[in-house]
Amino acid sequence: MARRSPMPPVAADPVLADLTPDQRLRRLELTVTRRLDGLLHGERHGLLPGPGSEPAGSREYRPGEDEVRRMDWSVTARTAVPHVREVDADRELTTWLLVDASPSMEYGTAELDKRELAVAAVATVGFLTAGPGNRLGAQVLTPYGLHRVPARAGRTHLLGLLRALLAAPRCGEHHDTTAGPAPAAGLADALAEVRRVAHRRGLVVVVSDFLDGLPDEARLPAGWERPLRQLSARHQVLAVEVTDPRELELPDVGLITLVDPETGEHREVWTGDRHLRERYAAAATAQRDQVRQALRRSGATHLALRTDRDWTVDIVRHVHAQRRLATAAAASRRGGAA
């Protein structure tokens, strides 16, 4: 009896890092447009529901609810009753992205590293905010300086931005030095630059691990906290925090060498020490809580993504939570008016 030949091994599904930039772009676009867009119904809800800036009449001022800067002084003077301006959602949206591509974003122990996950977040924002007249611009914080991508509309522009992010040189790789050394830039400097170029009120999305500028003392403000608060005063700001599970806890794998990606400092660590692993986990938890508190004080909406989780599920949960908050706030305002 003839023997059956063994079945050929089934090729594993390649991870994003194994694919060419164009293949990765196609996969990201299909994921966003088919999976996310199918779950996030509604053209105008977006990732961060909120007020617009197109005038839509006036109504009476509600103490404790309305901002004084929205006062409609002409109607107030005419009626002798305080009124505020009503606004509708913008028909044209300008979105500015700040993408952290510093060395600490090159780390990853799951299917995606932190930079790949950042690109996925950028793709989500780009494809879901795309529309007639909507524009997308970016500031990319690299180890070699701050790179600006002017705000433009169209799918071709978005794909070009994503392709540039995927192909950007990593720390230690060859890069063009003919123009001389680039000035050192941190997250605070990048936020200040976004504030300088984002003239029109819109959406600002910051994608980072937010490790830059964190003080050792948790009670002190982060270096990027003030410029982020200044951005939030004028724009809707979404802070996408990107983390990896190994940043939160150490596995018991014996002696390992840890490298600081920002400074290159090396340190050998014996992970078999249970107390060391517990201290590491406690310090990591305190650090992430420090980031969350700083983002909350800055007035930014916080979206946490991890390299070992399904980022599409996290984004869907975030958007639905934001919509519930927006609906509850609108219902509360109507109830107060009644």
- Whether 77 and 128 share a structural domain: no
**pLDDT computed for residue 34 by the predictor:** 77
Phi, psi of 286 (to 5 degrees): -65, -40
Cα separation, 100 vs 179, in Å, equals 22
Q: What is the mean pLDDT of residues 112-116?
A: 90
- CATH number of 123's domain: 3.40.50.410
**pLDDT computed for residue 305 by the predictor:** 96
Q: Which of 209, 98, 119 is nearest to 166 (CA)?
A: 119
Cα separation, 74 vs 29, in Å, equals 48
- Whether 106 and 141 share a structural domain: yes
* Domain-located, residue 8: no
- Whether 58 and 193 share a structural domain: no
- Whether 69 and 103 share a structural domain: no
Considering only residues 3 and 85, tell me which one the structure prediction assigns the higher pLDDT: 85
- Whether 60 and 108 share a structural domain: no
**pLDDT computed for residue 264 by the predictor:** 78
* Domain-located, residue 131: yes
Q: What is the mean pLDDT of residues 237-245?
A: 95
Q: What is the mean pLDDT of residues 197-209?
A: 92
Least trusted range by pLDDT, from 230-244, 265-279, 321-335: 321-335
> pLDDT (tens digit, 9 = 90+) per residue, 10-61?
344 445 555 566 788 888 888 887 777 666 654 444 565 555 544 556 778 8
User: Average per-residue pLDDT in the chain?
Assistant: 81
Range of the domain at 76: 54-89
- Whether 83 and 122 share a structural domain: no
Copy the structure tokens of residue 302. 């916080």
Q: Which amino acid is present at 185?
A: A
> pLDDT (tens digit, 9 = 90+) per residue, 124-175?
999 888 877 889 999 999 888 899 999 999 989 999 999 888 877 676 554 4
Between strands 145-152 and 135-142, the pairing is antiparallel
- Whether 253 and 186 share a structural domain: yes
The CA–CA distances, whole Å, from 125 to 45, 77, 130, 145, 156 equal: 12, 42, 8, 23, 15
* Model pTM score: 0.77
* Domain-located, residue 44: no
In the three-class reduction of DSSP (H, G, I as helix; E, B as strand; rest coil), residue 147 is classed as: strand
> pLDDT (tens digit, 9 = 90+) per residue, 288-319?
999 999 999 999 999 999 999 999 999 988 88
Domain's final residue, options 89, 110, 143: 89
- pLDDT > 90? residue 205: yes
Q: What is the mean pLDDT of residues 216-223?
A: 87
Provide the terminal-to-terminal Cα distance of the chain, rounded to the nearest Å: 87
Answer whether 272's CB lies under 8 Å from 256's CB: no
DSSP for residue 132: T
User: Per mean pLDDT, which of 9-13, 82-86, 186-190 is the most reliable?
Assistant: 186-190
Residues in the chain: 338
- pLDDT > 90? residue 229: yes
- Whether 118 and 267 share a structural domain: yes
**pLDDT computed for residue 48 by the predictor:** 58
- Whether 197 and 237 share a structural domain: yes
Copy the structure tokens of residue 322. 């934001």
- Whether 291 and 206 share a structural domain: yes
Domain's final residue, options 45, 72, 89: 89
Q: What is the mean pLDDT of residues 247-274?
A: 87
**pLDDT computed for residue 91 by the predictor:** 53
Q: Which amino acid is present at 320?
A: H
- Domains: count for the chain: 2
* Domain-located, residue 15: no
Counting beta carbons within 10 angstroms of the beta carbon of residue 3, is it exposed (0 to 12), middle (13 to 18) or buried (19 or more)? exposed
Domain's final residue, options 42, 73, 89: 89
Copy the structure tokens of residue 210. 């937010």
Cα separation, 243 vs 304, in Å, equals 8
* Domain-located, residue 209: yes
Least trusted range by pLDDT, from 57-61, 192-196, 223-227, 257-261: 57-61
- pLDDT > 70? residue 89: no
* Domain-located, residue 21: no
- Whether 208 and 314 share a structural domain: yes
**pLDDT computed for residue 1 by the predictor:** 41
Q: What is the mean pLDDT of residues 217-228?
A: 91
Q: What is the mean pLDDT of residues 65-88?
A: 77
